Amino acid sequence: MAEKNTVTVRLRGRIDSANASATEAEIFARLAGVGECAVILDAAELQYISSAGLRVILRVKKAYRDLRITNVSPEVYEIFEMTGFTEMMTVEKAYRVVSVEGCEVIGEGFNGKVYRIDRDNVVKTYKNADALAEIQHEREVARLALILGVPTAISYDVVRVGESYGSVFELLNARSFSKILAKEPERFDWCVSEYVKMLKKIHSIAVPAGKLPPIKNKVVASVKRMKDLLPGPLGEKLLKLTEAIPESDRMIHGDFHTKNIVLAGDEVLVIDMDTLSVGRPVFDFMNMYSAYVGYYEYDPDGVIGFQGYDIGVSKRFWHGVLARYLNTKDEDKITGVENKIRVLSYAKMIDWSVRHFGGDEKRAAERAIWLENLIRLTDKVDSLDFEVSECGEAPDELEIEAATENLDKVLGYVGAHLEEAGCPMKTRMQFDLAVEEIFVNIASYAYAPNTGKATVKVDVSDDPKTVRVTFTDRGVPYDPLKRDDPDVTLPASERKIGGLGIYLTKKVMDEVRYEYKNGQNVLVIGKRIERSRE
């Protein structure tokens, strides 16, 4: 079928009752004899349009169903929006032009780069020249991620950057983890810890059905394209192992590397959200291995150009992240999981290289290394999925200084057990609320004005499945359950200070009990756990 012609008609000045008829005649004269076509009304020079002018647009729309209005000023766009025209047809705003020449690159993903354009703002540019659909998609999934609990930035403007488009975000003084690792090596362990904390947060989020695509479908398609490069039955084995990875409703970032994790002030944020999907954690690790190690096995210096640090730092970071995520120091267990990750990573990299670079000699030499490793590893592994509990478990109990600065460690310890127990996100958040209230109370009052230890222990029982967290301290005897519940119906001016935290704890937990035993305060909270549908 032949492509439909496109005719552009420019609208100028004001279109109102005085000149609407003449404008309509000019438009149809321009379209006369063209036949069926797509019509673009370029409104770059349109200053105002009245109801008479809108009726002209309606008549053009009836005659030419494929109608688009472009380069509309904010003032005129508001008129189109108020009158519902933006719902009836495509109306595109005029975009201000932004230059990124000389700007610092603070992030980079598969589809574009993020530049700092001034102290407060960054712009993400897209490689695709016709990126408006991509921008809209990313804005939608970023809003979804934010609603579901992922700290990220939301674009507040769309601009022209060269021949393509960009999304503008407010990111005050943001620095990527790549910059921090390159410039502040003493913060290496902090970066590993915060990176894994964010990754686990993302992987804990259950996404409502249909909101994000399953990443497994893309990976299976990739394996199908390249499997015949493997000898004998290994190609079919690789495909079966990939297809056997369980489905999941948990969030996957898809491009989770240190250029896409930024520190804005004192808040860690995730950027570059266009690759969000759902699936098992192995799919995120597949892309992470590529970003830190895989792509640089042929040319180790290549990582400096992309991440900004050398291959030694990159490999050490990768290993540290994997070990911390798995919660184990057992190198055999780490290697066993890494082998599964590498299989998927090599398969995807090979497919990507063949499709994008064909017979390029350097790329062929690179693929030969990946293929050799893929053949060896595919022969060794018997599955490509993994559970954190296979490798390491949270300690049986945590003894820690009762100080508010240790709250994150307590939440992390409890959270690891909740994850192993398969707790849904809502239940984890309820435990977070209760654990914070209780531990902060112990830290603030149990030993005041001195300090002391607190012990936190998590137990999981079955029939019905229940999680209990026990807090023990040797501070001043105190039963918080004897305190009267606050009257939550009173206005703020009439309420007494305090008591709300333990009140909320009793509301969100199924069980809260206290006893003073053997010179210790013992407080237990518990909740029945609905089995995960993952």
pLDDT given for residue 313 in this prediction: 97
* More confident site: 108 or 293: 293
Domains in the chain: ranges and CATH: 5-93 (3.30.750.24), 205-255+272-389 (no CATH), 397-528 (3.30.565.10)
Q: Average of pLDDT values for 86-98?
A: 86
Where is average pLDDT lowest: 203-207, 214-218, 238-242, 313-317? 203-207
Q: What percent of the chain has pLDDT over 90?
A: 49
Using the CB atoms, write b or e for 478-495: b if 16+ within 10 Å.
bebeeeeebeeeeeeeee
Q: Average of pLDDT values for 31-48?
A: 90
Write out pLDDT tens, residues 334-373.
Answer: 999 999 999 999 999 999 999 988 777 778 999 999 999 9
pLDDT given for residue 499 in this prediction: 54
Answer whether residue 172 shows pLDDT above 70: no
pLDDT given for residue 389 in this prediction: 54
Cα–Cα distance measured from residue 61 to residue 364, given in angstroms and rounded to the nearest whole number: 52
Sign for the pseudo-dihedral over CA of 187, 188, 189, 190: positive
Rounded (5°) CA angle 197-203-206: 135
Cα–Cα distance measured from residue 445 to residue 451, given in angstroms and rounded to the nearest whole number: 9
Cα–Cα distance measured from residue 523 to residue 473, given in angstroms and rounded to the nearest whole number: 9
Write out pLDDT tens, residues 41-61.
Answer: 999 899 999 888 999 999 999
Answer whether residue 323 shows pLDDT above 70: yes
Highest mean pLDDT: which range of 132-136, 137-141, 291-295: 291-295
Residue type, 467: V
Q: Average of pLDDT values for 70-96?
A: 87
**Residues whose CB is less than 8 angstroms from the CB of residue 233 and which lie 6 or more positions away in sequence, other chains included:** none
Cα–Cα distance measured from residue 289 to residue 293, given in angstroms and rounded to the nearest whole number: 6
Cα–Cα distance measured from residue 393 to residue 435, given in angstroms and rounded to the nearest whole number: 20
Answer whether residue 439 shows pLDDT above 90: yes
**Residues whose CB is less than 8 angstroms from the CB of residue 437 and which lie 6 or more positions away in sequence, other chains included:** 501, 502, 504, 505
* More confident site: 179 or 94: 179
- Number of Cα atoms under 13 Å in the Cβ half of residue 55: 9
* More confident site: 163 or 456: 456
Answer whether residue 496 shows pLDDT above 70: no
Average pLDDT, the chain: 87
Cα–Cα distance measured from residue 450 to residue 475, given in angstroms and rounded to the nearest whole number: 10
pLDDT given for residue 384 in this prediction: 96
Highest mean pLDDT: which range of 105-119, 234-248, 429-443, 447-461: 234-248
Write out pLDDT tens, residues 385-429.
Answer: 987 655 554 556 788 999 999 998 898 889 888 877 878 878 888
Rounded (5°) CA angle 31-68-72: 110
pLDDT bin (cut points 50, 70, 90) of residue 493 is: very low
Measured in degrees and rounded to the nearest 5, phi and psi for residue 154 equal: -110, 130
C-alpha separations of 261 from 171, 238, 252, 264, 406 in Å? 12, 32, 14, 10, 24
On whether the pTM is more than 0.85, the answer is no
Q: Which tokens is 387 given?
A: 């559970």
**Residues whose CB is less than 8 angstroms from the CB of residue 39 and which lie 6 or more positions away in sequence, other chains included:** 6, 7, 8, 9, 31, 60, 64, 66, 67, 68
Answer whether residue 533 shows pLDDT above 50: no
Answer whether residue 166 shows pLDDT above 90: no
* More confident site: 314 or 17: 314
Write out pLDDT tens, residues 466-490.
Answer: 999 999 999 999 998 888 776 645 4
